[in-house]
Each structure stands twice: as C-alpha cells, then as structure tokens.
Amino acid sequence: MAVLAEKYMKQEKWSLVESMTTFIKNDSVVPDILVKEAQINLWLAQKRLGKMNKKEVGECDFSGSTMDFRICQYALLEEFDLAVGLVDRALDTEQIIVKNLFEWPVLNELRETDSFKELVQKKGIIKPEETQLIYPQIEEIDETKCS
C-alpha cells in the first residue's frame, strides 16, 4: 500500500494519498518507521489539500528519529533555513540519501529555495537520474477499482 501511496503522490492525487496514509498510520502491525513515513506523507497530502494542522506538525517530536524526518517536518512547516541546515549535517554524516533529497515530494518547495540550491552547489551534488518504481506492476493498477 505504501508503494501505491508513493505513486499517487507523484501523480498529485492528494485525496487518495490522504486516505492511504491514514490507513497505514493507524495499522497496528506496521513498523514504526513506516508509521512515521505515513505521518509525513499524510501531512503533505493535507497541506496540498489546504487542511494541514501546522500546530500538530510543529509539536510532533522527531528528536529521537533520523534527521530525514526532521528535515521533512521543517519543510512542511516551510522553515527552510532550518531544513537546509539539517540537510547539510545529514549529508556530512551520511544520514540522508542524496537521491531522496531530489525525489521526495515533501521536499519540493525546499528544493526551490536559494539556500538549498547553494548547498547543493557547495557540496558538488549532482542531481541523480529519476529512478523507476521498485514494483513496475503498480503502474498497471486500474485506479477505478481502488476507490
């Protein structure tokens, strides 16, 4: 289901993303890291739909998580200077995959900032080629049967 949610994010089908990530987030057998990913993607869907609760996002404690969750949190809150600072540290300590910086939809606005572009240039980072979905058969799903 997470792969399908990723497909819908890339297609900007935010209502579907919201539904799927809500389900994933509330599933009791889903590992903690996937719950956190679903939470970030749920907030992104809500942001795109104009109903994200900034207070809730800001109050979520990701201090015990890897830096990528805090980067996403700052990006959602449009605290881009804080996000870029964490990106810089995460790159130095290899706590984020470069490809993810360029592919995650939650970082779209961050990538457009001058500070992000300057960091990428300073670090000599080359934007990786877009990767294909891990499960190409997902592309063949009849979306009319998913609602």
* pLDDT tens for each residue of 12-65: 999 999 999 999 999 989 999 999 999 999 999 999 999 999 999 999 999 888
Amino acid sitting at position 106: V
Residue 126 confidence (pLDDT) above 70: yes
Rounded Cα distance between 137 and 100, Å, is 22
Element (H, E) at 117: helix 114-123
State the pLDDT at residue 67: 94
State the pLDDT at residue 131: 52
Work out the widest C-alpha separation in the chain, in whole angstroms. 47
Distance spanning both ends of the chain, measured CA to CA = 13
State the pLDDT at residue 101: 94
> With contact defined as beta carbons under 8 Å apart, do 75 and 106 qualify?
yes
